[in-house]
Amino acid sequence: MVYRSFNEEMKSRFGCKIYKLALSGGMTCPTRDGTLGTRGCIFCSAHGSGDFAVGRCESIAAQIEKAKALVSKKAKGAKYIAYFQDYTNTYASVEYLRKLFFEAIEQEDIVALSIGTRPDCLPDDVIKLLSELNIIKPVFVELGLQTIHPQTAIYIRRGYDLPIFDKAVVDLLNNNIEVVVHVILGLPGETKEMMLDTVRYVANSGAKGIKLQLLHVLEGTDLADEYRAGKFKTLDMNEYIDILIDCLKILPPDMIIHRLTGDGAKRDLIAPLWSGDKKRVLNEINRRLRELN
């Protein structure tokens, strides 16, 4: 079974290997600053889902140089995407965002801008800014949906309802901005059918890309307390791969698969421990996919 991977897609669009430079925009989230809550989404670590970004106090130019240095040995002849991953990267004034994002795409070898955010943090002036940037270099907006099921959304403290997601997708698509949706597989209380419902919804949403992520339990999160209290179990590797394969079967063949498993920091991983060996997991996923050819 073949799928359209992010790496291959980027290579065919830009003609070379593309690396993401994880940058910090210095923002927080409405689920953390008291607007919607103070403890963040239940699964989210103190780093705000961005465990690999370089220092958030430095200028964007300095962050870019540091992030490039991290991949310099393997990145000969490569180009880059400026990637704002941690926290909610449109949760600031449009003036602040304008300066930040224009600086991030200034260099010639940065071919695109990728912004992780929440659908409830995309007001009209921000959409307009993204549309302006998108004319200069492609902009990808990653939306953390995780699930379409209201009871799970409440449990994970997502803080917005599904119509907010629908509106954000329409607003972005109306401005030709590429949408990538994050989905978590294995959320407490969800059956396989519920997870497939979410993926089916994304398949029909107009999004061009999807990140499929295994639920990780990370140290320091409220989810870790729930896990230790025995309130739910995490998926084992075979269960996860079975669900993942069914997700890939549902998705349209031109959907870009940005991620097939989790990518959390190993030092904080509590469960499932098998997911810490990312190479082994990806090998097993690819082996199972080859069997389907």
Applying CB under 6 A, which residues contact ligand SF4?
29, 31-32, 40-41, 44, 48-49, 87-88, 118, 144
Please report, in angstroms and rounded to a whole number, the separation of the first and last CA atoms in the chain: 5
45 vs 205 by CB, closer to ligand SF4: 45
Residue 23 φ/ψ region, left for φ over 0, alpha for ψ in the -120 to 50 degree band, beta for the rest: beta
DSSP assignment string, 230-262: TS--PPPHHHHHHHHHHHHHHS-TT-EEEESS-
In the complex, the smallest distance separating the C-beta of residue 40 from ligand SF4, rounded to whole angstroms, is: 3
79 vs 158 by CB, closer to ligand SF4: 158
In the complex, the smallest distance separating the C-beta of residue 155 from ligand SF4, rounded to whole angstroms, is: 13
| Length of the chain in terms of residues written | 293
Find out whether 132 and 35 touch, Cβ atoms under 8 Å: no
144 vs 188 by CB, closer to ligand SF4: 144
In the complex, the smallest distance separating the C-beta of residue 75 from ligand SF4, rounded to whole angstroms, is: 27
In the complex, the smallest distance separating the C-beta of residue 284 from ligand SF4, rounded to whole angstroms, is: 27
Find out whether 172 and 130 touch, Cβ atoms under 8 Å: yes
In the complex, the smallest distance separating the C-beta of residue 26 from ligand SF4, rounded to whole angstroms, is: 13
Report helix, strand or coil for 24. coil
In the complex, the smallest distance separating the C-beta of residue 12 from ligand SF4, rounded to whole angstroms, is: 30
Residue type, 163: P
121 vs 199 by CB, closer to ligand SF4: 121
**How far is Cα 170 from Cα 177, in angstroms, rounded to an integer?**
10
Find out whether 212 and 37 touch, Cβ atoms under 8 Å: no
In the complex, the smallest distance separating the C-beta of residue 89 from ligand SF4, rounded to whole angstroms, is: 9
Residue 78 structure tokens: 């490569």
18 vs 262 by CB, closer to ligand SF4: 262
Find out whether 110 and 122 touch, Cβ atoms under 8 Å: no
**Parallel/antiparallel/unpaired status of strands 178-185 and 217-218:** unpaired
29 vs 172 by CB, closer to ligand SF4: 29
Report helix, strand or coil for 269. strand
Which among 122, 184, 108, 121 has a CA at the least distance from the CA of 153? 184
109 vs 225 by CB, closer to ligand SF4: 225
In the complex, the smallest distance separating the C-beta of residue 194 from ligand SF4, rounded to whole angstroms, is: 19
15 vs 123 by CB, closer to ligand SF4: 123
Residue 91 structure tokens: 């949760």
Find out whether 172 and 134 touch, Cβ atoms under 8 Å: no
